[in-house]
Amino acid sequence: MLKTLKFNFILALTMAFSLQSFAQDTTEKATPIFKDGEAQIVEAFNSPEKWIHHDLWVETEFDTDGDGDLDRMHVSVTRPEQTDTEDLRLPIIYVTSPYFAGVAGDTPGIMWDVERELGGKSKQRTHPEVKRRAAQRPMISFSHIKKWLPRGYIVVHSSSPGTGYSDGAPTCGGPNESLAPKAVIDWLCGRAKGYTKRNGKKEVKAYWSTGKVGMTGTSYNGTLPLAAATTGVDGLEVIIPIAPNTSYYHYYRSNGLVRSPGGYLGEDIDVLYDFIHSGDEENRAHNNKVVRDTDMLNNMDRQSGDYSDWWAARDYLNQMDNMKAALLMSHGFNDWNVMPEHSYRIYKAAKDKGLPTQIYYHQNGHGGPPPISMMNKWFTKYLHGVDNGVDKEENKAYIVREYDDPSNPTAYKDYPNPNTQDIVLHLDAGGNTSGSLTLDKPNSETTESFVDDVSFSGEDLAKAKNSKNRLLYVTPKLQKDIHISGVPKLTITLSSSKPAANLSVWLVSLPWDDSASKITDNIITRGWADPKNHKSISKEEDLKPGKFYTVSFDLQPDDQIIKAGQQIGLMIFSSDKEFTIHPKPGTELTVELHNTTLTLPVVKGEDYYRKFVN
């Protein structure tokens, strides 16, 4: 009897310890946590000193540095310790960039000279060398790690071809910039090979990956997620590009015109190549000869500015057939570097394809991610598989109103606003001082002229009470706020005194406020075009002095509320000091007012506009 009691006691004690151990194992097992459709910070993942960091090189399917070996991309992984200690598998947030190892310095002569006549050749520029950032180990970046790893993600970074410790050559939109992140995603999904060393043979596996990958990044780093998505690679479930350059032609040209990105006068695609070329010094001479000094120099065409097959191959809108990743876009309406058309054109195409899409617009300049809650829901849905309904939301557009915090956007059913109607505005005489911009067609055939002079900035011209160097047409004072949402369009009939001329257009809110604290207070939107490309942006023709040509082109997309008491002004001028080539002053342009119209997308349409403006 005593022996039986003793045995039962030992058995009970053993079971108790086993249950206690099981309970401890259960409670200590770290897994992602979700609330309100968002991944939450998990304390077990939130110990940076326990995170695992390691580097590797993923083999691609191309050789762009000409050494006879397939290029390998440098990859950095940061993951929670539980991916080793508890055999935990997690989804990936992946960021790739050409910038991680440093860029060229801002030295004199690296930009193309813009002080020249249109169609003329520029003097050769300086080619800087990038000094690669030194480190004890080839660290890439810590961006996004603190934000996403504690929420149950592994964060992966890679350097683009020809940058940092990655093999290859930078191509600024060439096929290798799409195939490089594809190779990394293939490795994360077990379909490509990764190695512990750049030239090594020891393989490394992504055993901790679920095979679900999301990408994000800003500017060039936002372009590359789209580039990867256009390959249709399996495993890339969602991308969140922020202010991405989606077409190198639209970045460096505008409707046939050679036009610089804002803040970088004289930049072109080969300047960008030099800026990012931080790869191995031993490969640079080959890359420069093949890519920069042959392919780019023979095709970029700074003389005509025409669109070509070469530029078309660097336009991701033309490569979206295979894209299947969900898309959350982000952009600023006053981004004059990577202009808002870049995101709008891709958002529209993805929506037309039936992909899950949403767009976030703010009123500031370059950059600016969506609120973290919005990003979190998209990553949670498509990487963790939580059915939070983000793909079924009725509202597809979130727009930060002019004086609101970027974290508090206003929801709309779509962009442009579905309540928008295009109204057509006409020009009436007086443009050298202040002509009229009205719904009513002019009663007579009228022409007005202005003379190009790049010494005057766009701001100078918009503020001038009168000027022979621009034409300005304004609405009456607004009696109520007017909400513009969409893409304004100008159709203009003009002649030039010379065979070539710049054409620049600003839509402004007047009176101009010198003390304005908001970027939205004066400039509504802008546009540029080459009159020589009036038939096609792919083939220009010299203008016959005195002959009139009709040119139609879009201005940059916008969504802005113009306050009551303001006037909307259409300013037409020639050379834009901040953006275009600077020819010598003196070209005279003459506009046929009766054959020129501004199409303006206005919420509530013509009846509302006529009631409170006209």
Residues involved in catalysis: 219, 335, 366
HSE value, Cβ hemisphere, 13 Å, CA-based, for 572: 33
Q: 410-439 b/e with 16+ CB inside 10 Å = b?
A: eebebbbbeebbebebbbbebbbebbbbbe
Question: Alpha-carbon distance 156 to 144, whole Å?
Answer: 9
How many other β-carbons are positioned within 10 Å of the β-carbon of residue 294?
11
**Cβ burial, residue 534 (10 Å; 0-12/13-18/19+):** buried
C-alpha to C-alpha distances, 473 to 431, 436, 568, nearest whole angstrom: 6, 5, 8
- Assign residue 547 a region (left: φ > 0; alpha: ψ between -120 and 50; beta: otherwise): beta
How many other β-carbons are positioned within 10 Å of the β-carbon of residue 380?
27
How many other β-carbons are positioned within 10 Å of the β-carbon of residue 557?
26
Cα-Cα-Cα-Cα dihedral sign, residues 410, 416, 420, 426:
positive
Return the amino acid letter for 552.
S
Length of the chain: 614
Backbone angles phi, psi at 229, to 5 degrees: -65, -30
User: CA angle, 278 as apex, 272 and 282 as ends, to 5°?
Assistant: 120
Q: What crossing angle do the helices spanning 176-188 and 220-229 adopt, rounded to 10°?
A: 70
409 alpha carbon, distance to own chain's centre: 19
Q: Name beta bridge partners: 399.
A: 361, 410
Question: Alpha-carbon distance 545 to 499, whole Å?
Answer: 6
Q: 395-407 b/e with 16+ CB inside 10 Å = b?
A: ebbbbbbbeeeee
Question: Alpha-carbon distance 388 to 382, whole Å?
Answer: 10
Return the amino acid letter for 534.
H
C-beta of residue 585 within 8 angstroms of C-beta of residue 454: yes
- Secondary structure element (H or E) that encloses residue 281, with its range: helix 281-287
Characterize the bridge pairing of strands 257-258 and 253-254. antiparallel
Return the amino acid letter for 219.
S
C-beta of residue 334 within 8 angstroms of C-beta of residue 519: yes
- Say what the alpha-carbon torsion angle 541, 543, 548, 549 is, to the nearest 10 degrees: 30
Q: Which of 279, 265, 68, 54 has the alpha carbon at shortest distance from 167? A: 279
